[in-house]
Amino acid sequence: MRIRLFTVPNLLTLMNLLCGALAVAAAFMHNDLTLAFWLIVAGVAFDFMDGFFARMLRVSAPIGVQLDSLADMITSGLAPTAILYRMCLGGPALWWHGSSYVWLLVFVFAAFAALRLAKFNVDDTQTDEFCGLPTPAAALLAASLGMLWQRGEVVLPAEATLAVALASAGLMIAPLRMFSLKFHGFAWRGNRLRYLFLAVCALSVICLRTYSIPLVVVLYIAVSAVRRMVCPQGAAAAK
């Protein structure tokens, strides 16, 4: 079987992986959480584009699926974990004054991201919606909080950072069905929730700038939870 390695989608996926690797270096080696955040944003953008071009060029292949998960593990798993760990080491501890080894628990985020990605690869029910919080959303939440924290725009004690890491890890493998932002054409019907959510996101970015990112992720989780309660089958609410 002939395997094509250097297709356009695969090259975009490799760019995703490189952004994630550089974000890990920025966080661990240089303690630059702002740079790490923007590298993760770039990686997530490449992650979106590789799927788009794979569908447009019709070059989807099994190797692309595997490579995509490996890249996401770095950009949306390890890189945000590095940011969270830096936050725990650099933030004040309000209640815990014991060994700093307790902050290693943030690496549960990376472990559960791997579980989430592996489950996605074998779960054929996640075509129109997701089961659990997508790893890019969890990564953007962690990375944006890290940037805001380092700039002094939010105050997070180490215990709160650990709580964010563990909560995000739990949500990634939770059996909560969450709507996908993958469009099926450009018609209003079938994409209503997606259009409305993106409009709210755009308005939030304009009004709140970098503060909007953690709020948008929390809103995404809340809307998905309400959607499942109002319409358990999920189909009607997405239309």
pLDDT (average), residues 166-183:
90
The percent of residues in the chain predicted with pLDDT above 90, rounded, is: 62
Average per-residue pLDDT for the chain: 89
**Nearest CA-CA partner of 84 in 16, 25, 172, 166:** 166
| Pairing verdict, β 129-131 and 177-179 | antiparallel
pLDDT band at 214 (very low <50, low <70, confident <90, very high): very high
pLDDT band at 212 (very low <50, low <70, confident <90, very high): very high
Q: Where are the domains of the chain?
A: 8-175, 178-239
> Under CATH, which number does the domain 8-175 receive?
1.20.120.1760
pLDDT, tens digit (0-9, with 9 covering 90-100), for 145-163: 999 999 999 999 999 999 9
* Residue entry with tokens 């974000």: 23
CB 92 within 8 Å of CB 152? no
For 181, the token pair is 């932002």
pLDDT, tens digit (0-9, with 9 covering 90-100), for 106-158: 999 999 999 999 999 888 888 778 999 999 999 999 999 999 999 999 999 99
pLDDT band at 184 (very low <50, low <70, confident <90, very high): low
The percent of residues in the chain predicted with pLDDT above 70, rounded, is: 95
pLDDT, tens digit (0-9, with 9 covering 90-100), for 31-48: 999 999 999 999 999 998
pLDDT (average), residues 179-208:
83
Stronger pLDDT, 43 or 191, i.e. the higher one: 43
